[in-house]
Amino acid sequence: MAGDAGFAETRGRLLSAALEVFAERGYRAATFKEICGRAGTNPAAINYHFRDKLHLYLAVIEQGLAELQRRSDILDDDPTAPPRQRLRHFIGAVFRRLIGQESPSALLRLMACEMVEPTAGLDVIIQRAFLPAFEHLCGIIADLSGRRPDDPITKDCALSVFGQCVFFHHARPIISKIKYPKYDLPVLEHLIEHTFRFVEAGIRAVAGQEAVRFGTAQIECTS
């Protein structure tokens, strides 16, 4: 039984190894040698199972997205809960995804690579991973601010919220040298709490109804 791999198992090992390597090195810098080294296969196995480097990559994304949808705690909240609580839940879920060590987090590391070095896979990721989460977030912000979900200001706020979350993942090499050498659980909870309070206020200031009345006026007379 051991040593007797079988089609699906080899394919699976390749996918896992490729996910790791692509997430670590990016598309171009990832090599067959390293992927197959981790998967314990011959380099030609990739072409056999996936035809191409590109198709392997797309398969990796596909699998990551599937796993993402299977246990998606981001979108899975109680729509009747108060919006503040839903926002906090959302931010917590995104942080845990980005920072946590579980497999689906690699997909987000991969997304980070796509930003620097866009690929044919970016569209798929945007359509099936980013957009659903983004629209969900817009809904929460809409509830919070009283605006419509497709209001441009709502979208601006949603981007800001995402920016906060992604940055703490993305800039980790820098952040680790400045403040948080490690993202252990207490730090994680602290960051979630901080971000929640920060963006909640931001949303209220920019998108809240009172913002329309006072906010802008204030800005314009001071700057």
Q: Which residues contact 141 (CB under 8 A, 6 or more apart)?
A: 87, 147, 149, 154, 157, 158, 161, 203, 207
Nearer to DNA, 48 or 214 (CB): 48
Out of 42, 127, 176, 218, the only residue in the binding site for DNA (CB under 7 A) is: 42
Using left for φ > 0, alpha for ψ between -120 and 50, and beta otherwise, residue 102 falls in beta
Q: Which C-beta is closer to a second copy: that of 72 or that of 167?
A: 167
What CA–CA distance (Å, rounded) separates 160 from 203? 9
Give yes or no for a contact between 187 and 180, defined as CB atoms under 8 angstroms apart. Answer: yes
**Residue 203 exposure: Cα atoms within 13 Å on the Cβ side:** 32
Kindly give the interhelix angle for 104-116 and 83-99, rounded to the nearest 10 degrees.
80
Binding part of the chain for a second copy, among 40-48, 54-62, 63-71, 80-88 by CB under 8 A, reads 80-88
Count CB neighbours of 103 within 10 A.
14
Return the one option of DNA, a second copy, none that residue 136 interacts with (CB less than 5 to 8 A, by type): none
Among 2, 19, 20, 33, binds DNA (CB under 7 A): 33
What is the footprint of a second copy within residues 14-53 (CB under 8 A)? 25-26, 28-29
Q: Which span sits near a second copy by CB under 8 A: 5-13, 14-22, 54-62, 215-223?
A: 215-223
In the complex with a second copy, which residue's Cβ is closer, 70 or 182? 182
Instruction: Give the pair of three-digit tokens for residue 220.
Output: 């314009």
**Contact flag: residue 174 with a second copy (CB under 8 A):** yes
Say whether residue 51 binds DNA (CB under 7 A). Answer: yes
Amino acid at residue number 143: D
Which of 92/104 has CB closer to a second copy?
A: 92
Segment interacting with a second copy (CB under 8 A) among 32-40, 44-52, 96-104, 121-129: 121-129
Interatomic CA distance for residues 158 and 71, integer angstroms:
23
How far is the CA of 9 from the CAs of 46, 101, 124, in angstroms?
13, 23, 25
Q: Which residues bind a second copy (CB under 8 A)?
A: 25-26, 28-29, 82, 84-85, 88, 112-118, 122-123, 126, 130-131, 134, 152-153, 155-157, 159-160, 162-164, 166-168, 170-175, 177-179, 191, 193-206, 211, 215-216, 219, 222-223
Binding site for DNA (CB under 7 A): 4-7, 9-11, 30-34, 41-49, 51-54
